[in-house]
Amino acid sequence: MNNGKRITAFFLILLCLIFLSSGLFYRAAKKTQDPSLLRRNAVFMDLEKEPRESIDLLVLGDSESYTSISPMQVYNETGITTYVAGQSGQNMAEMYHMFETAMKTQTPKAIMIETHALIHSKGSAYDLQNMGTELAQTCFPVFSYHNLWKGRLAGESARVSAWKGFRVKSGVRACLDTKKYMKPTDHIRMVPSGNRAIFDKILKECKDKNIEVVLYSAPSPVNYSYANHNGIALLAQESGVPYLDLNLETADIGIDWLRDTMDAGDHLNISGAEKTTQYLIPFLQSLNLPDHRGQKAYAAWDHLAGKYDSQVAGMIRKIRGSNEKV
Amino acid sequence: MGYNSFLYLGAFLPAVLVLYQLTPEKYRKYTLLAFSWTYFFLLSRFLVLYLILTSVFVYVLGLWMGRKKEGEPPKARKTRRARLATFGVLVLFGILLVVKYSRFVAGTINSIRIAHAMKPFDILKIAVPVGISYYTLEAAGYLLEVKWKRIKPERDFVKLALFLGFFPQTMEGPIARYQDTADQLVSGKDLQSEDLRDGSVRILWGLFKKMVIADRLNTLVATFYNYHANFSGAMTLTAGIAYTLQLYMDFSGTCDIIIGSAQLFGICLPENFRQPFFSQSASEFWRRWHISLGVWLKTYVFYPVSVSGLSMRWMKFSKERFGKYISRVGEAAIALFPVWLFNGIWHGPQWNYLVYGMYYFVLLLLETILEPAKTEFYRVLGLRKDALFFRVFRTVRTLCVIVLGEMFFRADGLRTGLSMVKSIFGAPQFSMLRDGTLLHMGLDPGDFAAILLGTVIVIIYDCLREKGIRPGELLQNKSAALRWSAYYALIFAVIIFGAYGPGYQQVDMIYAGF
């Protein structure tokens, strides 16, 4: 064999081995429900386990998404089935992967994108790196689930979120410095071009499938400024999609930055999320999404929603009644 | 885009290889330079101008040093060359000082002013270009080589620019000497299958060390150093050992990737490590650890100081007054002090780096001071210096010295380093090693198993290298099936056991920060 043929054979075998191992690791990952092994990727598996065509509203984004919109509360109030497919630090490449994963089994009628992932970037080389990593992980899941060897493969433990992607955070750490928060300015922080390109791709695919896209910014003094607002508003205007910047509405929402945040203004806790979700209800109703409450096929949602209420009510009362860490 | 990143290994490096091979032979050096500067631009954006301007400055100065003026006497020419070299070195280190150390100096002055109830200065924030500590040393080395007439001033700008900015060396060295690498960089020879194979295996081996061991250990080390006050002396020692191991696996692993990347193009870069943990003394350790920095310091600081007027005058004076022994110790002190001061400062603008340098200065000086006593000890007792027991003892003693040094090196400030050492000797509390605290440092039993297994593999490899055996060459004599199986095993070891993805932080290359 000459060198060229030998090198080609070597890489072909390697590709086959990676492909085979990917299949094995993916199957193992689907079997396990152990979030400590899957970590950020657990939400992919949870999303795939949802019954086909059962989600009407999909929420994408980083940790700002899964700490701001509560699907169970939305269901209780409107009967809309919502899933928050958010990951901590989700970048746009990961968001696209999540979107593709959701589209395999669901056709939501609307998608809400939390905008922090859109505005956040560590530079074009980093974005390019994220895209490459994401592509490799999508094609070869062994790169995503390689840590499964660490054991407990067949363990049947809790999902990363029991509440359709939403994470109940009961801690309180007051945000004391909100002086500069959303101070009006003409400065525009543009959405980085790499992020914009991925957003445009998601938008196009949504338009093709007749899915409504909505941008929203969760209240967060740490992550948002008026310059961010200007940049995202410009993107929304150019793309023709609605944009809800909840950072401008915190007074109407009733956010108390001394109690409604778990980490000094970075993320909302359950109390802040409850207020934010409640504020969004009229908007969600205006999207004319179906009400599934009481339907036989959605009995599991009815059951879960009832359970959710009883679980979080006490936590919210405790937070609102005291300034101490719960 | 670090050397262990997907973007570098999966896209950038293959793209350069393909385009290099497609370029006609005589233009290949331009391709390499274009990609080298592009790589630098991707890392540091417009700070690439520092590198380009340094290349131009050194190029022009080198030519100026070599210019022959008509009728100029040789002595005057020598003086002119020396003055220009001094000017060049001062400018290069001046830039490095301003860029890298001005904040530290201004911060120190400000703390003094604050302590004396004076208003602090506003401190200007200057962006530091990646790799400036490395290419500055190479540039200064080039000028000194020209001054000493060991090399002729380079007339080919591309060759000199490539020497200073060759992309695999940009972030962590190794710090090469001009005569060792420059010609290879512009040879433009075709890619060879042996080079591609050996370079790829070297890269994989580096990835194994970095991703399986070093990046995994980072979680434990970072957790400890962030909350060191909560841990006992025994945990401090464990974290010190873990950091020493992490640093070795990270730096030597990255160097393997760098040397492997250059090898793909048929370029042989100098080695930076030679099984450092087998050293039997601190001085031997520094001949095996970060070798290229050691060689640079020896060539351009130690030797010039040793033959300087000050050193010569001391030798003449002390030999007559105090005898040979004191004279030798004094000479060693004069030459070693600037070397270790430079070594400490080079690592960065922090007091603990300075202490780290001085720590080795004291140790190496002690070696010189105690040398006659040690020789006498073995002679009087009739013991063999190279007996197994003494070799093991010296190796373990050197390991302790290394771990203690690295603890200071990693500590967040001098005071922290001192309090850690104090806790080791004051309150060891070995119970913390058994009560499950280790399992609350971000690593689970699987992680510890991977670290242990990976380290054993590296130790076996290093033992073979120490015996002069090259495992890679051994493999070449085996059947293709066995060779390919070994390569696939290495690839899958990195893919499956690498500490990346969910649950692990992307860890920057440690020495890229210096």
Helix ranges restricted to H, B148-187: 157-165, 178-185
Asked if A39 and B503 come within 8 Å (Cβ–Cβ), the reply is: yes
What is the total count of domains within chain B?
2
Q: Is the ipTM of this complex over 0.85?
A: no
> Which chain B residues are Cβ-neighbours of A35 within 8 angstroms?
none
Do the domain assignments include residue B338? Answer: no
CB-CB neighbours of B180 under 10 Å: 15
How far A10 CA lies from chain B's nearest CA (Å)? 8
Tell me: the pLDDT tens digits for B114-138? 777 777 777 677 778 888 989 999 9
Residue B495 contacts A where some CB pair is shorter than 8 Å: yes
Could you tell me which of A248, A222, A272, A214 has the C-alpha nearest to residue A69? A272
B133 in the same domain as B197: no
Q: Is the pLDDT reported for residue A141 higher than 80?
A: yes
B73 in the same domain as B138: yes
Do the domain assignments include residue A135? Answer: yes
B151 in the same domain as B245: no
Task: Name the domain boundary from B167, B190, B213.
Answer: B190
**DSSP 8-state class, residue B22:** H
B220 in the same domain as B123: no
HEC-encoded secondary structure of chain A: CCHHHHHHHHHHHHHHHHHHHHHHHHHHHHHCCCHHHHHHHHHHHHHHHCCCCCCCEEEEECHHHHCCCCHHHHHHHHCCCEEEEECCCCCHHHHHHHHHHHHHHCCCCEEEEECHHHHCCCCHHHHHHHHHHHHHHHHCCHHHHHHHHHCCCCCCCCCCCCECCECCCCCCCCCCCCCCCCCCCCCCCCCCHHHHHHHHHHHHHHHHCCCEEEEEECCCCCCCCHHHHHHHHHHHHHHCCCEEEHHHCHHHHCCCCCCCECCCCCCECHHHHHHHHHHHHHHHHHCCCCCCCCCHHHHHHHHHHHHHHHHHHHHHHHHHHCCCCC
Residue B447 contacts A where some CB pair is shorter than 8 Å: yes
B149 in the same domain as B30: yes
Contact yes or no for A202/A129 (Cβ under 8 A) = no
Nearest to B488 among A6, A14, A38 (CB): A14
Domain containing residue A239: CATH number: 3.40.50.1110
Is the model more confident about A288 or about B502? Answer: A288
Q: Is the pLDDT reported for residue A36 higher than 60?
A: no
B87 in the same domain as B32: yes
Is the model more confident about A207 or about A38? Answer: A207
Q: Which residue of A has its CA nearest to B445?
A: A150
Do the domain assignments include residue A171? Answer: yes
Asked if A142 and B496 come within 8 Å (Cβ–Cβ), the reply is: yes
Q: Which residue of B has its CA nearest to A12?
A: B488
Asked if A129 and B7 come within 8 Å (Cβ–Cβ), the reply is: yes
Do the domain assignments include residue A326? Answer: no
Rounded to an integer, the average pLDDT of A70-82 is 95
Which domain range does residue B473 map to?
A: 191-269+396-412+420-506
> Which chain B residues are Cβ-neighbours of A149 within 8 angstroms?
446, 496-497
How far B49 CA lies from chain A's nearest CA (Å)? 18
Provide the token pair at B273: 């490590």
Asked if A10 and B484 come within 8 Å (Cβ–Cβ), the reply is: yes
> Which chain B residues are Cβ-neighbours of A130 within 8 angstroms?
none
B178 in the same domain as B60: yes
Q: Is the pLDDT reported for residue A202 higher than 80?
A: yes
B401 in the same domain as B260: yes
Size of interface A-B (CB pairs under 8 A): 64
Rounded to an integer, the average pLDDT of A42-47 is 78
pLDDT band for position A154 (50/70/90)?
Answer: very low
Residue A213 confidence (pLDDT): 96
Residue B75 confidence (pLDDT): 85
Task: Name the domain boundary from B131, B164, B190.
Answer: B190
Residue B485 contacts A where some CB pair is shorter than 8 Å: no
Task: Name the domain boundary from B169, B190, B211.
Answer: B190
Do the domain assignments include residue B5? Answer: no
Q: Is the pLDDT reported for residue A153 higher than 50?
A: no
pLDDT band for position A35 (50/70/90)?
Answer: low
B230 in the same domain as B145: no
- Alpha-carbon distance B272 to B264, whole Å? 18
Contact yes or no for A189/A217 (Cβ under 8 A) = no
Do the domain assignments include residue B281? Answer: no
B174 in the same domain as B119: yes
B157 in the same domain as B84: yes
Nearest to B502 among A3, A18, A38 (CB): A38
Which domain range does residue A42 map to?
A: 3-321
> Which chain A residues are Cβ-neighbours of B503 within 8 angstroms?
39-40, 147
What is the total count of domains within chain A?
1
Do the domain assignments include residue A60? Answer: yes
Residue B14 contacts A where some CB pair is shorter than 8 Å: no
Asked if A132 and B6 come within 8 Å (Cβ–Cβ), the reply is: yes
B-interface mutation test, from A63, A122, A150, A152, most B Cβ less than 10 A away: A150
Do the domain assignments include residue A240? Answer: yes
Provide the percentage of residues in chain A whose pLDDT is more than 70: 90
Asked if A125 and B498 come within 8 Å (Cβ–Cβ), the reply is: no
B238 in the same domain as B215: yes
- Alpha-carbon distance A88 to A71, whole Å? 18
Bond into B304 cis (ω within 30)? no
Residues of chain B with pLDDT under 50: none
Residue with tokens 């700070």: B47
Nearest to A14 among B5, B491, B497 (CB): B491
